[in-house]
Amino acid sequence: MHALEKEKLPRLSLGEGRNMVTQLLVVNLTIFIFLLFTLVIYKMEDVGEPRFHQDIMTWLRLPADPAKLLMRPWTLVTSLFTHISVWQVFTNMVWLWCFGTFMQHLAGYQRILPLYLFGGICGNLFYVAAMQFIPSFHVLNGTEYWLGAAGSIMAIAVGVTAIAPRYRIFPLLAGGVSLWVITLLFIVLSVGSLLASSTYGYTYIPVLAGGAFAGWIYMTQWKKGNDWGSGFNRLTFKLTHVFHPASQQINPDDFKKKNSPSDIDQQPFRRIGKVPEQRLNEILDKINENGLSSLSPDERDTLLRASRTE
> For a pLDDT cut of 90, what percent of the chain falls above it?
49
Count CB atoms within 10 A of the CB of residue 246: 7
Q: Residue 11's pLDDT is what?
A: 45
Q: What is the pLDDT of residue 292?
A: 65
Q: How far apart are CA 173 and CA 245, in angstroms?
A: 50
Which pLDDT band holds residue 49 (cuts at 50, 70, 90)? confident
Looking at the predicted structure, is the pLDDT value of residue 71 above 80? yes
pLDDT score at 266 = 35
d(CA 117, CA 97): 16
pLDDT at position 278 is 63
Q: Please, which contacts does 199-203 make with residues 24 or more away whose CB atoms are closer than 8 Å?
A: 200/140, 200/144, 203/64, 203/127, 203/130, 203/131, 203/137, 203/140, 203/144
Give me the residues paired with residue 169 across strands. Answer: 177
The pLDDT value given to residue 192: 92
CA pair distance 28, 149, nearest whole angstrom: 9
- Catalogue the E-assigned strands of the chain: 62-63, 145-146, 168-169, 177-178, 271-272, 275-276
| pLDDT given for residue 88 in this prediction | 93
DSSP strands (E only) in 167-237: 168-169, 177-178
Are 147 and 60 a contacting pair, CB within 8 Å? yes
Question: What average pLDDT does the structure give for the chain?
Answer: 81
Q: Which long-range contacts (CB under 8 A, 24 or more apart) does 65-72 make?
A: 65/131, 65/141, 65/142, 66/128, 66/132, 69/128
The pLDDT assigned to 15 comes to 39
Per-residue model confidence (pLDDT) at position 290: 64
DSSP state of 294: G
pTM of the predicted model, to two decimals?
0.77
In terms of pLDDT, which residue wins out, 169 or 292?
A: 169
What average pLDDT does the segment 115-128 reach?
97
Q: What span, in angstroms and rounded, lies between the C-alpha atoms of 183 and 273?
A: 38
152: nearest Cα among 61, 225, 76, 236: 76
Q: Say which range, 44-58, 139-153, 212-226, 272-286, has the weakest mean pLDDT.
A: 272-286
**More confident: 305 or 87:** 87
Dihedral of CA atoms 272, 2, 182, 14 in degrees, nearest 10, equals -80
State percent of the chain over pLDDT 70. 73
Does residue 184 sit in helix, strand or coil? helix
Confidence label for 117 from pLDDT (cuts 50, 70 and 90): very high
DSSP collapsed to 3 states, 85-150: CHHHHHHHHHHHHHHHHHHHHHHCHHHHHHHHHHHHHHHHHHHHHHHHHCHHHHHHCCCCEECCCH
**pLDDT band per the 50, 70, 90 thresholds, residue 287:** low
Residue 289: the pLDDT is 60
Radius of gyration from C-alpha coordinates of the chain: 22
